[in-house]
Amino acid sequence: MKKILTLAPVMPQESDIEDIAKTLSFLNCEFQIDFVDPLSVADNLPNEGYYRLWQNELEKQLVNYDAFFGFSFGGVILQQCFVLFEQVKKPIVLFSTPTFADDQLQEKLGKVIRLCKGNRVVEALEGLYDHVFFPNKAPQIDYQRYNLEIASKRLIFGLQRVLETDSTEILNNSTVDHLHLIGEFSNLVNRNNVITPKVGRLVIVPEASMRVLQDNQDYCKSLILEQLSCGA
């Protein structure tokens, strides 16, 4: 069975990966999907050193996986590791991944970070999920199931790294083919902070929030399967 390595988004706790796994279940018949918590590498290094660590980690996995997916921060990490895929061609799919942080993204994620630093973690999570699911209503979440201290540290580290990363030069010059899906109505990742790559496809998913697979899976499914057929 072919294998996909999926880098998850920033999550309050690692077990939230299960929600991402459900949205990819349509691939389970043909692919084994393994997930990586993007906060598994949490070294407090400058960006260059931090993403070099990720390049080293992913380079070890190139022979083990047939394709690579990245959700949001996971997608940012993949973009920063495109150099690995210049010679080793693998199908890549990105979901709601900012190229850079525009003023609105800085403002929205910056507020989440400030609330976390002020020990107002539940308020931070509520605000974040309002943006993530917009224009849909965020689901009811039992925040008591979280270790709020750990959740705060994870959000601060991951979201701050997103705000500090600019992949514009990489996407303008890289020859790595990939598919990038963003939601038509996304309140966080949209055409204000995502550029069309030199090589690859940027597709706006109709009637979708940032959670494109949840909102319009049928539309996304055919595009993902097409991308996976290109080498997987």
Using a 10 angstrom Cβ sphere, with 0-12 exposed, 13-18 middle and 19 or more buried, the burial of residue 217 is middle
Please check whether residue 135 lies inside any domain of the structure: no
At position 174, the amino acid (one-letter code) is S
Residue 88 DSSP SS3: coil
Distance CA 14, CA 36 (A): 9
Residue numbers of the domain that contains 32: 2-100+166-229
Judge contact between 92 and 85, C-beta under 8 A: yes
Please check whether residue 92 lies inside any domain of the structure: yes
Span 194-230, pLDDT tens digits: 999 999 999 999 999 999 999 999 999 999 999 999 8
Please check whether residue 160 lies inside any domain of the structure: no
pLDDT at 138 over 80: yes
Span 84-97, pLDDT tens digits: 999 899 999 999 99
What CATH number does the domain containing 81 carry? 3.40.50.1820
**Which has the minimum average pLDDT: 8-22, 78-92, 93-107, 117-131?**
8-22
Per-residue confidence at 41, pLDDT binned at 50, 70, 90? confident
- For the chain, what is the mean pLDDT? 94
**Which has the minimum average pLDDT: 16-25, 83-92, 123-132, 163-172?**
16-25
Please check whether residue 170 lies inside any domain of the structure: yes
pTM: 0.95
Judge contact between 215 and 136, C-beta under 8 A: yes
Per-residue confidence at 11, pLDDT binned at 50, 70, 90? very high
Please check whether residue 211 lies inside any domain of the structure: yes
Overall domain count for the chain: 1
- Spell out the alpha helix ranges (H) of the chain: 17-23, 47-61, 73-80, 103-117, 121-133, 148-163, 168-173, 212-215, 217-229
**For residue 231, what pLDDT is reported?**
60
